[in-house]
Structure 1
Amino acid sequence: MIKQEITVSNQYGIHARPAALIAKTAGKFVADVWLEKDGVTVNAKSILNVMTLAADHGEKIRIGAQGDGEKQAVDELVLLFDSGFNENSPQKEQK
């Protein structure tokens, strides 16, 4: 079993798009993968479950996995969170 704590870095927290990316990434692995916040643990392979965490910018979440590929699952999710789900880049002005 592997667990790692991370901070939600994207500006809008975990809403539908990041939840879908989390579930898609977690779903690539055989291991059980979960997220935990404030004592609530949810299956990271379910978009709806991930959204129920209502994790806002700056909040701490623990990522966990157990089974085949557990380290890779946690590592990939950490990278995804660290990227801010590609939502932190400034938008270009349209002219």
Structure 2
Amino acid sequence: MISKTVTLKNEDGLHARAAALFVRTANKYGSEITLQAHGDSVNGKSIIGIMSLGAFCGEEVIISALGTDEEEAVESLVNLVENNFIEI
């Protein structure tokens, strides 16, 4: 399992659009993906779960993955968050 902590920099945090982009990116990978904030942990491939975290700008989230492509998955998701949910 690989985990990385990242700070949300986008103004709205994990709102609907950002959550949708996170899920779309997470679903490209076969690994199990988990997102943690405020001590709560949710499935990183569930838009409802991600939005339920209520994570806002300036807050830290932990992205974790377990599986054959875990390193690539975490790196891709961290890049997405660090680029303010703008797909590159």
Report TM bin, short chain: over 0.9
Distance 1:34 1:2 in 2: 10
- Percent pairwise identity: 42
SS of 2:75 mapped into structure 1: helix
The 5 Å alignment of 1:1-95 reads: 1-86=1-86
Is there any run of 5+ residues in structure 2 with no aligned partner, and where? none
AA at the equivalent of 1:39? G
Distance 2:62 2:80 in 1: 14
Segments of 4+ moved more than 3 angstroms: none
AA at the equivalent of 1:63? I
Question: Normalization by structure 2: what TM-score?
Answer: 0.95
